[in-house]
Structures are given as structure tokens and as C-alpha cells.
Amino acid sequence: MGNYLDNNIKFVPGVGEARAGLLARELGIVTMRDMLAHYPFRYIDRTKIYRIGEISESLNAAYVQFRARVTGIGFAGTGRKRRFSVYVSDSTGSAELIWFQGIKWIEKRIEVGREYLIFGRPSFFRGELSMVHPEVENIEKALSRHVESGLQGIYSTTEKLSGALGTKGFYNIICNLWALVKDRIDDPLSDAFRQKYGLIPLREALRNIHFPQSPELLKQAQYRLKFDELLGVQLNIQAQRSTRMSRRNGFLFPRVGDAFNTFYNEKLPFPLTGAQKRVVKEIRNDTVSGWQMNRLLQGDVGSGKTVVALLSMLLAVDNGFQACMMAPTEILARQHFATITRMLEGVGVEVAILTGASKARERRHALEGIADGSVKILIGTHALIEEKVVFSNLGFVVIDEQHRFGVEQRARMWTKNLQPPHILVMTATPIPRTLAMTLYGDLDVSVIDELPPNRRPIMTAHYFDSARLRLFGFMREQIHKGRQIYVVYPLIKESEAMDYKDLTDGFESISRDFPLPEYRVAVCHGKMKPEDKEESMRQFKEGQADILVATSVIEVGVDVPNATVMVIESAERFGLSQLHQLRGRVGRGGEQSYCILMSGEKLSKEARQRLDAMCQTNDGFKLAELDLKLRGAGDINGTQQSGMAFDLKIANPTLDVQILQITQQAAIETLGGDPQLAKPENAGLRELKMVYNTDKTMDFSMIS
């Protein structure tokens, strides 16, 4: 595409400096190209006009349009809480329209007694229809408007942005943008290529994605744009794979020596499960093959991934190499360090830890030890990828709980060596292999599909906030039995003041409702100093606290076998895999364990499905599958949260499996005939590849 598209969005009529600033801050839209790639996330049929009586919760529509007459207006509240209501009705019912912002502006435009066309997101309170910040248009004007196919795109926006721009404002900007750019769009795919795969020209695709001429053309547009994204990704993955397979530069671990054998025969506190044995064998095969291993290990929470990682690291040690293990949080790194140090007692393998919170002595010990080779296993957080960390001969890298890592952090691991170490990535969020590759790059996949024996399934229940007293009764009972309890509050971003408030309020209410001195409560959240967090965790671990009130910082890996109850507050605000991870914190000892999901009464359909699924199954694989389906359908932030290596705007590797497979084949074929994409007819493909070739992809093999 030409550079024209890289112009700032502020030059589009209707935008200007102020809105451009807002678009950048709220949606990350800076250039015209960005805006053009801000595709509608759904379409509504603007030819359909509902009657109020037809609009109910069971209609399950995200947006609806209806015509009604204004019967009255009203104001309530003051200052920032001020709201403006417009009451409307037709012969079938009545509804309330509500504004919190732009009240003056809307007030001037509303006339009691007149009829309007009203468009917005319906919500229901006791069965009554209401709409916050709907789009309201004089009926005569609305009916005279011409819409090409009746399908109008709905763009994702934020609260701030919709206050300043609105659905219609946004739509107008897209129209103006299209007028500017429509003749400046180059197609990266040649006619021949397009014909072969049945793709419409890019220009047609972009036009129809924003302004569908027909449902059929919209489908073709979506197909084309998804195809481009997945092809761009596949070109990178397949190129990486062939580079990796062409170089036999993987470290060799032929020996099974003292460290492995002593640990396995004398220290391992339990027999390995069949699945664990199989995975150790797979890793062993990889590390004698001559190729560099790049393996994803999937295994449900509690399936015993840590010991597999440890055995693999001992293989490296037995062959004269160092190994490191990177965990996503301080707490988890410390816990791994404690577990592994304990398990290796008497084995004679030096283990060190390095995290952002390491004090001078610990840090020096770790840094010197790995540089002079005396430390064989280094455990830590992303502090491990700092420049100062220089291994004497790193041969094996374990990355635990992959999904929590930023993409860039992953990619930097391999620069630690001249020759790439073997990489084992572990995750409790299982995903299909094709999807794993799209998310994380070129990987082989191992699965632990068997839990250690004698685990009692965790019992999960969902309660509304109104049942809180019963919850407290149950908590008391468990504490009296000597058990410990987690209470977790949501935390979307660690910096969000609101979440912090939720937590402190929750903490206070728990202290209030548990006034007896024998209930000891510890608290742990992201805003605390690392040493205070540590202290709280220590108290809980050592049984000096009965209840740990925490944010989702404890999500991964924490191991306190005496904790039998996991209470998740505002459970509707968590994703499914997060809920499952949290639940995995209990059920680690011999006692029956419980997971209690607390939520408000008002639940979206997806939230309800998530909570129901949690109550129905403990199977992480099933939940992961459902999670991907739900997210694909609803959550527009899905890709962001999944930590995908690529910024996909429209393709969803879970739902678009078929396109994924076609593009994979197309990439293999194309690269087979032209590995560097150097031929003139492949110039566009080379560019497409570059769009998705960030150093961000987990490419551990591209060391020259």
C-alpha cells in the first residue's frame, strides 16, 4: 500500500487535532491505515425498525432501532452524577433514554410530543427497556436517509470516545476517510494468486467491510481480509520453521547422568504419571536429535508440569549445560525456587534465583554464579532477560505459564546465546496446535492429559452477592476445620485505582464480618511493595493467616495444600481460563476443596455461560475450548488478552481454522518455490510477510 495511508488521521475531514488525540489515546488509531483497519465488529440491519414491545431480553440483540414518541423528560442528580432522562413510548410499550454526558446538547434537540428514530444498546431493568446514550434522530429525516444495503457497521469504541464522537460521528469519519483513500489502495496479492484462492481485490474488500453492498459481498470481504492476516502470519511461521529445520545446531544432551539419576531414583517423592513420562521422553528425543527444540507443553493446572521441567533441566546439567526457568510473577518464581531447591537437596546441583526484587547479595550471587558456571539452574522472573544476565553456557530454557508473558519478553530469550538453547514453554491454557503456532510461532506440542492419582475433584458453585451471609457461614465452618481460604478480587490492570478500591473495600468488609480475633486475614495485591507481598504470602503459606484477600496476582502457580476454599469475587469479570487457573489454587491437598464464584445478579449471556461452565466441569481442556469459542464470538479484547504474537484485526484462528489451513498450505507452497520471496510476482507477499514479521514472534532459531 502507498504511503498516503500513513498520513495522520487528523487530516480526514471531521477529525482534527482534538479527536485525533482522542482516537490515538482510546483506540491506538494514529494513521489513516490504522483507521481503515478498524473494522466494524458487527453489523446491524438499519432497515429493521422494532416496536418497543418486541424488544426484550430474549431478543438478545446488541443493538436495536425503534421509533417512538417522546412523552416527557426529567433530570436527576447533580454534578458528575447528573443524568438526563427522556421517556418515550409507542402503542406497544414505553422506554427510558438516559444521558450522563452531553446533556445540554441533547436536551436542545429533544422535543416532547415528537417522534424519533432511536438506535442503541438495549438494557433492561425489571423488564423495562432503557438505553444509555442512544443515537436519536428526527423520524422524517431518518426515513429519508438512504442506506445502500441496510447493513451498517458498528465500530468498537470506548466510553470517552462515544461521548465525543458517537456511533454516527464515527461512521461519518469512516465515510470521509474512504473518499480520500479509495483510489490509493494497492493489492499485495497478484491477480493469479487471488484467482487461485478465490479472493476479491483488496479495495473491494475494504469497501465492503465498511460499507457492505450486500451480505454476500460482506462475507467475501471478511474472507479476503482474514486470509491476508493469516497468510502474513503463516509466511513468517513457515519461513522460521524451514530455517530451523535447515540448521542442525541444537545442543546435544546424550548423557543421562548423576544429577538426573540421583534425583529420579532417590528424591522424586512420587512415581511419574504415564503422561509425565511420555513428555520427558519427547523432550529427551528432541535433545539428542541435533535440532533445536521449540516445544510447547500443555497440561492442566496441577497436572505436574514443574517436575517435568526440572527433569529436563537436570538433563541439561548432566551434559554440562546451564538451564533457566522463567516465571511470570515474583511470587511464582520464589515458589519454584523453594520447591526446586528442596527437591534437589543432596543432589549437588547449584540453584539460584534472580528477580526484579532481588537484593544486592542475591543478585550478585546469581549473576556471578551463572557467569562463572557454578550455578547450574537459574530461576526467576523476566529479570532473567536483562542484558546483565550472562550465562556461561545456557542450554535449556523453561518458560512457565506462557500466556502471562509479554510477547517481546519471550522473543528476547534466545539472544542470550550464540547457539540457541532448547526451549520448553509451559502453559495450563491448552489450545489446538494450529492455533498455538499462530499464537506463539513455530512450535511442537506436548500434552500432559492425566492428573496425578487421588485428586478429589473441586466442587464449584455460583452464588449471587445476595447469598453472602451463607458464604460467610461456610467460610467460618472451613476455618474451624483448620482450613485456609483465598478471597480473590478482579484486577484488570494493576494500575487501575478502581480495582484497588474494590479490593480494599472487600478487605474491610471481610475484616468487619470476621470480627473475631481468631480469624487472621492477610492481604496481597499488585500495589504493595514486593517485600510486603512476600510477607503476606509467607503468613498464609505458614498457616499464620486463615484468609488471604488478594487480587489476581496469585493467579498462577501458588501452592498452599491446606487452602481448600477459593472465593472469587465479581467472578463475571474474569475470563474463563483465569477462573480455572484460580480454582487450581485449591484442591492440592487431601481435603475436599471448593470454589465459590460470587457475582452480581445482572450477567451478560457470555458471563453466565462462563460461570455455568465452571460449575459443570473441572476439565481445563474443555474449558479452554469453550473459552476460545466464547471469546471469538464476543470479546473484542480477546486477542489482546491471549497474548497473541500478532495483531490480528479480523481473523480469529480458533473460528477460522479452515482459512488458517489454506493459508498454511499457500505459505508452504509459495516459500517452497521462492524461499526469500525475491521474485517480482511475490513482492506483495514479501510486504505482507513484513507486516506480521515482528521480532515479536517467538523465533528462537533466527540466529545468524
Residues that bind ligand ADP (CB under 6 A): 270, 272-273, 276, 299, 301-307, 428, 452, 559, 588
Binding to Mg ion by residue 299, rule CB under 5 A?
no
Nearer to ligand ADP, 305 or 689 (CB): 305
Cβ proximity to Mg ion: between 301 and 411 the closer is 301
Q: Is 557 in the site for Mg ion (CB under 5 A)?
A: yes
- Measured between alpha carbons, how far is 36 from 614 in angstroms, rounded to an integer? 39
**Contact indicator for 414, 673 with CB cutoff of 8 Å:** no
Q: Which partner, ligand ADP, Mg ion, none, binds residue 276 by CB below 5 to 8 Å per kind?
A: ligand ADP
Nearer of residues 22 and 425 to Mg ion, judged by Cβ: 425
**584 binds Mg ion per the rule CB under 5 A:** no
Least distance between ligand ADP and beta carbon 558 (Å): 9
Q: How many C-beta atoms lie closer than 10 Å to residue 592's C-beta?
A: 14
Question: 150 or 452: whose CB is closer to ligand ADP?
Answer: 452
* Closest to Mg ion by CB, 421 or 557: 557
Residue 454 beta carbon to ligand ADP: minimum distance, rounded to whole angstroms: 8
Give the range of 130-138, 230-238, 404-412, 556-564 binding Mg ion by CB under 5 A.
Answer: 556-564
Rounded least distance, CB 312 to ligand ADP, Å:
13
Name the residue nearer to ligand ADP (CB basis): 189 or 560. Answer: 560
Question: What does 589 bind: ligand ADP, Mg ion, none (CB cut-off 5 to 8 Å by kind)?
Answer: none
Please enumerate, as own/partner, the contacts of 286-291 that have beta carbons within 8 Å and a separation of 24 or more: 286/250, 286/422, 286/444, 287/250, 287/251, 287/252, 287/253, 287/312, 287/315, 287/316, 287/396, 287/422, 288/252, 288/253, 288/254, 289/250, 290/248, 290/250, 290/252, 291/244, 291/245, 291/247, 291/248, 291/250
Helix (H) or strand (E) holding 311: helix 305-318
Q: Cell numbers at residue 558, please?
A: 501458588
- Shortest Å, Cβ 294 to Mg ion: 20
Which of 165, 423 has the CB closer to ligand ADP? 423
Q: How far is the CB of 428 from Mg ion (least distance, A)?
A: 7
Q: Are 210 and 40 in contact (CB under 8 A)?
A: yes
Residue number, 420 or 557, with CB nearest to Mg ion: 557
Q: How far is the CB of 255 from ligand ADP (least distance, A)?
A: 24
Q: Which of the listed partners (Mg ion, ligand ADP, none) does 98 bind, with a CB threshold of 5 to 8 Å by partner kind?
A: none
Minimum separation from the CB atom of position 329 to Mg ion (A): 11
Residues 367 and 390: their CA atoms lie apart, in Å, by 7
Instruction: Tell the smallest beta-carbon distance from residue 535 to ligand ADP (Å).
Output: 23
Q: Which does 270 bind (CB under 5 to 8 A by kind): ligand ADP, Mg ion, none?
A: ligand ADP
* 380 lines the binding site for Mg ion (CB under 5 A): no
C-alpha 423/C-alpha 427 separation (Å) is: 13
Across 161-228, where does the E strand assignment appear?
none
Residue with Cβ nearer ligand ADP (588 or 610): 588
421 binds Mg ion, rule: CB under 5 A: no
Are residues 296 and 425 in contact, defined by beta-carbon separation less than 8 angstroms? yes
Q: How far is the CB of 577 from Mg ion (least distance, A)?
A: 14
Pairing of the two strands 394-399 and 422-427: parallel
3-state SS, residue 558? coil
Smallest separation, CB 308 to Mg ion (Å): 10
Least distance to ligand ADP from the beta carbon of 399, Å?
A: 13
Closest by CA to 528, choosing from 544, 550, 507, 559, is 550
Q: Between 226 and 305, name the residue whose CB sits nearer to ligand ADP.
A: 305
Of ligand ADP, Mg ion, none, which one does residue 185 interact with (CB within 5 to 8 Å by kind)? Answer: none
Position of minimal CB gap to ligand ADP: 304
Nearer to ligand ADP by C-beta: 153 or 430? 430
Amino acid at 564: T
Q: Residue number with the shortest CB distance to Mg ion?
A: 557
- In the chain, count H helices and then E strands: 25, 22
Nearest to 383 by CA among 429, 334, 435: 334
Q: Give the ranges where 634-673 is alpha helix by DSSP (H).
A: 638-642, 657-673
Site size with Mg ion, rule: CB under 5 A? 1
Write the CA distances from 181 to 11, 92, 167, integer angstroms.
12, 45, 21
The one of ligand ADP, Mg ion, none whose footprint includes residue 478, by CB under 5 to 8 A per kind, is: none
Least distance in angstroms from the C-beta of 325 to ligand ADP: 11
First-last CA distance in the chain: 31
Binding region for Mg ion (CB under 5 A) out of 70-78, 261-269, 277-285, 553-561: 553-561
Angle at which helices 433-440 and 215-246 cross, to 10°: 80
- Comparison of 73 and 272: residue with beta carbon closer to ligand ADP: 272
Contact 309, 402 (CB under 8 A): no
Q: Which amino acid is at 568?
A: I
**169 close to 230: Cβ distance less than 8 angstroms:** no
- Residues forming the site for Mg ion (CB under 5 A): 557
